[in-house]
Structure 1
Amino acid sequence: MYEITAETVITGDLAVIWETATDVGGWSAWDPHEEAARLDGEFAVGGRGWSKPHGGPATDWTITEVVPCERWASECGLPGGGLAGVNTFERHGDGRVRCVKTVRVSGPLVPLFRLYFGRRIRRDMYRTFAALEREAWRRAGLERRVEGAA
């Protein structure tokens, strides 16, 4: 098993951050990691999605856990193994939210993830957190503050 984790604290309203992070169809508009994405059905356990990261293969995945405004998880199959992701959001007060993303890879592709994809995925996690913050501010109608903070 190989695990990749990144965490940061962003500012914004937790409900808007959650809404943005779980709007799968909108990911490619703001997330620099995602080229395209869709969700077939509701954002709920058992929901099936599809996403295509920039520079990576498209993947079908299934939502395995949803705790609104707190955590969601998904998993997909890999040849002889799998990839599972957990996204956690924790209110820190004063408009701050701690975001943690963990990806666990199992099976014979672990060495490939460890040597090639791991660093890139971790770097992209931080880029996604920053983009999530900007997009949540935009959706809340606070674009000027984000532009001034950049």
Structure 2
Amino acid sequence: MIWSTVATARTKARPEDVWRLWTDVAGWRHGDDGVASSDLDGAFVEGARGWLKPTAGPATRFVLTQVEPHVAFTNRSRLPLATIDFIHTVQRDGHDTVIVHRVEMAGPLTFLFRRLIGASIARGLPAVVDRLARVAEGMAA
């Protein structure tokens, strides 16, 4: 079973500005009210491991499973009998930059985690992407 949700925002910021915010893992809490703290063990490269403490819930470890500088990255956390991928992409579209955050859960217990955390993620994701767009625009100004 797979569950997913997605949120998109448009901004005048450059993809490089968005990328700079994404790669500042310790700063994720500034753009996402659902993150109490986070950090990465080493450089922002595929295979790097980090941790994230949500404002509600236990800390979780993650691994960067995909990193394409200034374009996309995915961080994956393991849940009991499920995985959750946070897929982030950014691209130019004319004069704007489009930011997309997609969250996907997969595995035998997806039905349970969808009910436990999926609705909260889906509700909060649009605000997170909108806030990221505004912060990135402030960096570009």
- Structure 1: any 5+ residue segments left out of the alignment? 143-150
Aligned to 1:61: 62
Matches within 5 A, 1:109-128: 109-128=109-128
Determine the C-alpha separation between the residues in 2 that align with 1:103 and 1:57. Answer: 18
Q: TM-score scaled by structure 1? A: 0.83
TM-score normalised by structure 2 residue count: 0.88
8 A contact 1:79–1:108 mirrored in 2? no
1:10 alignment partner AA: T
**Identity of matched residues, %:** 32
Aligned partners of 1:123, 1:11: CA distance in 2, in Å?
24
- Name the amino acid aligned to 1:130: D
Matched, 1:31 2:27: no
Counterpart position of 1:106: 106
The alpha-carbon distance between structure 1 residues 10 and 119, as it changes in their structure 2 partners (threshold 3 A), is farther
RMSD: 1.6
Segments ≥4 residues shifted beyond 6 Å: none
Runs of 5+ unmatched residues, structure 2? none
Whole-angstrom distance in 1 between the partners of 2:8 and 2:23 = 18
Q: Give the AA of the match of 2:120.
A: R
Between 1:79-88 and 1:105-114, the stretch displaced more is 105-114
Contact 1:21 1:132 in 2 (8 A): no
Q: How many residues align?
A: 140
1:118 deviation in Å?
Answer: 1.9
Name the amino acid aligned to 2:42.
G
Q: How far off its partner does 1:4 sit?
A: 1.9
The 5-angstrom pairing of residues 47-86 of structure 1 reads 47-86=48-87
Matches of 1:38 and 1:114, distance apart in 2: 25
Instruction: Determine the C-alpha separation between the residues in 2 that align with 1:126 and 1:32.
Output: 12
1:59: Cα distance to partner? 0.8
Q: State the 1:16 CA deviation.
A: 0.8
SS of equivalent residue, structure 2 residue 119: helix
Q: Which amino acid aligns with 2:99?
A: C
SS of the residue 1:72 aligns to: strand
Bigger Cα displacement from structure 2, 2-11 vs 107-116: 107-116
